[in-house]
Structure 1
Amino acid sequence: MTFRSRLSGDSADYEAAARRIAELAARQPGFLGMESERGEDGLGVTVCYWASRDAIDAWREHPEHLAAQEQGRSRWYADWEIDIDFIAGRP
């Protein structure tokens, strides 16, 4: 799963929330790993590795993750995009 985003001007508490979501994701069944980078221009890319499509779907619907998604849409991100690529047997 690849998540690309560009921060908006209202990102005061974004870093703390991003750390919390990363910690929460790491505890989810099927989580295999995460890599994330953000440039000085606010453009960020996060790649999350999951064991199955079911694990991805469960993470997408996790209540705290849903709340963070709403904050992202309404406050933190000027734009964002998610791509889900899953090949059975290969993360």
Structure 2
Amino acid sequence: MNCQYIYFISKNITAIESSYSDMNPYDLGIYNNWKAVFDEFTWKWFFPLNVECAQKTNYLYPLNDKYMNIINTDMNDFLLDNNNENIKEDGD
């Protein structure tokens, strides 16, 4: 594994995403990024010969706390807007 891939795993990005200038919502911190790729820390991290981790598929990737707060705020605003529209329609 060369230094570039160590950097990619540490930042939880791909080669394509490395060219983006904005922040990465999937960056969970160095340890958690490595844990997402290689599972719990063991000596096997340095000798990734087991395919058990590769067989796990997860299509829901966690977001870091900053982006979770943004999503929650947006969802609350969306729900409030919909509620206000329903109240206006009921009042007419």
Report the TM-score, using the length of structure 2 for normalisation: 0.29
Name whichever structure is richer in helix by fraction: 2
